[in-house]
Amino acid sequence: MSDLKVVRWKRHGQDRLYVNLPDGSAAAWADCRTGKVTILVEPYRHEALRLLRPLLTRPSPASRSSPAVKPKPRTTDGRKVVPELPPLTPPDDLALNRPGESLRCLLAEKGPSPAQRVLSWLLRRESEWDSWRMGLAGERRVGGELQRLSRSGWRVLHSVPLPRDVDIDHLLIGPGGVFSINTKRHFGKSVWVGDEMAKVSHGPPQPYARKSKAEAGRVQAVMERYADIPVQVQPVIVFVGVTELTKAATQFTVRVYREREVSALGPLSGVLDAGQVDALYAVARHRRAWLSA
């Protein structure tokens, strides 16, 4: 008997079937409207397809009535127009960014002086910049964990800038696909993550999951625009320093880890070949590709 379980998820206009592993994480999922199946854990491909195919034999009524997708621009001979990026220069090369680069630059430019930091420490007075420094420490720790995956064919970028002073903490590209990673440091806190929101030590809801999914969508748009490689970008949230991490049973669309658990992405494979990884990485490291994301 299979250890995999099929769960239907209908929310926010989406209708999906998830094939879950015994630990509750998704091995694959299918869009009930289009019938498209996305394999997340390659060793379970055949078993996941065996379970999903009987459930996807008929398109749902919503799929038959859904509006047509707007076609992508094409040349007169039918080929898709793929915009070209200018030659990569050192100022535009995001591969040179260190983990937490955006926060480090912000602290260096606008943060307190060394004398002000010493005074705050002596007076035991909290500074408005303390949260930025803790965030920087968290991004550096997660960045170190991600860098270890390079031996398995993964590429990682840090502090990928988006318009309106927003950035993606880490972007991971490799054999298992593309992952948009958001780091949250809540030292000594307990965290619960739901479909859209998270709560830190039973505090007010924080839109962590919703924002992570939005970031993944922006990454996917850039990849498809400049690399012309269809890829499902998966959102990830990594919590640093938490004492307890709980994920809602209905949370299937965002991967949630502690900092040491992010290495679970390393063994994933079968989504991209080496040439596709190189092509996506070449686009992702180009700062100008993200200016209109």
Q: Tens digit of pLDDT for each residue in 4-29? A: 888 887 765 678 888 888 877 778 88
Confidence class of residue 49 from pLDDT cuts 50, 70 and 90?
confident
Task: Please report the DSSP string for 194-253 in residue order.
Answer: -SS-EEETT-S-B-HHHHHHHHHHHHHHHHHHHT-----EEEEEEEES-SEEEE-TT--S
Instruction: State how far the Cα of 8 lies from the Cα of 31, in Å rounded to an integer.
Output: 10
The answer on pLDDT for 159 being more than 90 is yes
- Which comes out higher in pLDDT, residue 283 or 84? 283
Lowest mean pLDDT among 71-85, 127-141, 145-159: 71-85
Instruction: State how far the Cα of 272 lies from the Cα of 175, in Å rounded to an integer.
Output: 5
Confidence class of residue 163 from pLDDT cuts 50, 70 and 90?
confident
Percent of all residues in the chain with a pLDDT value above 70, rounded to a whole number: 81
Query: Number of H helices and number of E strands within the chain?
Result: 7, 12
The answer on pLDDT for 63 being more than 50 is no
Q: Tens digit of pLDDT for each residue in 241-279? A: 999 999 998 888 899 999 999 999 999 999 999 999 999
Lowest mean pLDDT among 103-112, 152-161, 245-254: 103-112
Q: Please report the pLDDT score of residue 205 as a whole number.
A: 94
Confidence class of residue 67 from pLDDT cuts 50, 70 and 90?
very low
The answer on pLDDT for 185 being more than 80 is yes
Q: Please report the pLDDT score of residue 71 as a whole number.
A: 43
Confidence class of residue 38 from pLDDT cuts 50, 70 and 90?
confident
Q: Please report the pLDDT score of residue 1 as a whole number.
A: 45
Kindly report the average pLDDT of the chain as a whole number: 82
Instruction: State how far the Cα of 181 lies from the Cα of 199, in Å rounded to an integer.
Output: 19
Q: Please report the pLDDT score of residue 203 as a whole number.
A: 92
Q: Please report the pLDDT score of residue 61 as a whole number.
A: 38
Instruction: State how far the Cα of 292 lies from the Cα of 284, in Å rounded to an integer.
Output: 13
Lowest mean pLDDT among 36-45, 110-119, 127-136, 246-255: 110-119
Q: Please report the pLDDT score of residue 135 as a whole number.
A: 77
Instruction: State how far the Cα of 61 lies from the Cα of 40, in Å rounded to an integer.
Output: 27
Element (H, E) at 202: none
